Amino acid sequence: MLVLLFLGLMMQPLRAADSDVQQTLKGIEDRYNRAKTLQLSFTETYRVRGRAQIEKGELVLRKPGRMRWQYTMPAGKLFISDGKFIYSYSPQDNRAEKMKFKETDDMRAPLAFLLGRLHFSDDFREFHSRPQDGGLFITAIPKSDKLPYAEVSFLAGPDFAIRRLEVKGQDNSVLEFTFENERRNPPIQDSLFRFTPPQGAEYIDLSNQ
């Protein structure tokens, strides 16, 4: 009897933690499924083999399937999805590329889950969590092992806003985003999701390959 009581007491924190995860996931789904547009500032840190690269900019999202990453550091860098194709421009190389969205292996692609009808259980098979910085830090393991990333982690605040997102690649690289100044449903023009290569830039169309 004492053993059963002890086991029952041990299971209570696990059930509470699972309840917290499910409540937080539901809160995030409700928050972002109600948003047709989204605008926020981001800091992006890419870590691989002990080296880190930091970039910053503004992100705008519009359903269905459109997003624009406008970088201020480095200035001029651009990453756009029009819902069908991905366009990217690197000012350092003065090179622009076009490819099909479903074929990109860019690690920004996991944020596309914010562009559709968000349902974590559709894409992820298990979740782990811990309290952190006044919110809940959740690590989600995708159902498919054929993706360029092995896990996606995010820190959600009490208002269910995603403050930080980490994408771990199959090569153990980590792409981390910190989000600030989130605005839901601001007016966003369609022209932001149209891409024209800068004059003189090398332009490579990979969408037909």
Instruction: Report the distance separating Cα 131 and Cα 90, nearest Å.
Output: 38
Close Cβ partners of 63 (under 8 Å, ≥ 6 residues apart): 35, 36, 37, 115, 116
Instruction: Give me 26's structure tokens.
Output: 């539901």
Task: Grade residue 207 by pLDDT with cuts at 50, 70 and 90.
Answer: confident
111 or 9: which leads in pLDDT: 111
Alpha helices in 47-107 (DSSP H): none
Task: Grade residue 118 by pLDDT with cuts at 50, 70 and 90.
Answer: confident
Close Cβ partners of 103 (under 8 Å, ≥ 6 residues apart): none
Task: Grade residue 24 by pLDDT with cuts at 50, 70 and 90.
Answer: very high
Q: How far apart are the first and last CA of the chain?
A: 67
Mean pLDDT of 92-117: 69
| Whole-number percent of the chain with pLDDT over 90 | 52
What is the layout of strands, in order, in the sheet containing 95-100? 124-132, 135-142, 149-156, 162-169, 174-184, 37-48, 51-62, 66-73, 75-82, 85-90, 95-100, 202-205
* DSSP conformation class of 51: E
Which pLDDT score is estimated for 104?
A: 53
Whether the pLDDT of residue 43 is over 90: the answer is yes
Task: Grade residue 117 by pLDDT with cuts at 50, 70 and 90.
Answer: low
* Nearest C-alpha neighbor of 111 from the set 150, 156, 70, 66: 66
Which pLDDT score is estimated for 52?
A: 95
Report all structural domains of the chain as residue ranges with CATH numbers, in order of start: 22-205 (2.50.20.10)
Mean of pLDDT over the chain: 83
Instruction: Report the distance separating Cα 171 and Cα 208, nearest Å.
Output: 27
Instruction: Report the distance separating Cα 177 and Cα 55, nearest Å.
Output: 10
Task: Grade residue 33 by pLDDT with cuts at 50, 70 and 90.
Answer: confident
Only one residue has tokens 């059963």, namely: 4
Task: Grade residue 208 by pLDDT with cuts at 50, 70 and 90.
Answer: confident
59 neighbors 69 (Cβ within 8 angstroms): yes
Q: How far is CA 127 from the centre of its chain?
A: 16
Which pLDDT score is estimated for 10?
A: 39
pLDDT digit string (tens) for 82-100?
Answer: 888 989 999 999 999 998 8
100 neighbors 82 (Cβ within 8 angstroms): no
pLDDT digit string (tens) for 44-71?
Answer: 999 998 899 999 999 998 887 888 999 9
